[in-house]
Amino acid sequence: MNSKIFKDKQYHDEADQILDLAKELNKQYWSLSKKMAETSYSTFMCQMEDAQRLGKLAEAIRQLQAVNGTLRHVTCII
């Protein structure tokens, strides 16, 4: 009878250890998922900022080209 009680306790202890490991894995999974989401969001925001900068740069280039075209036109007249 004692060996059965010992085995039952051993199985119970092993089940507790497995449950603890599962809890720890779950915690690590959610921590990693949160970090990935934060990284993705941060990357997305950086890409949006880069796109805005590129848009501003493209607008500045268009304005310079317009000024350059105007200057060419003025020099042709002169």
Tokens of 71: 């200057």
Task: Measure Cα distances from 9 to 3, 14, 24, 68 in Å.
Answer: 10, 8, 22, 87
Task: Measure Cα distances from 49 to 23, 38, 58, 59, 60 in Å.
Answer: 39, 16, 14, 15, 16
Record the pTM: 0.50
Q: CA-to-CA distance for 2 and 66, rounded, in angstroms? A: 95
CA angle 36, 43, 49 (to 5 degrees): 155
From first to last of the 78 residues of the chain, give the pLDDT tens digit: 566 666 677 778 888 899 999 999 999 999 999 988 988 988 989 999 999 999 999 999 988 888 887 777 666 665
What is the three-class DSSP state of 1? coil
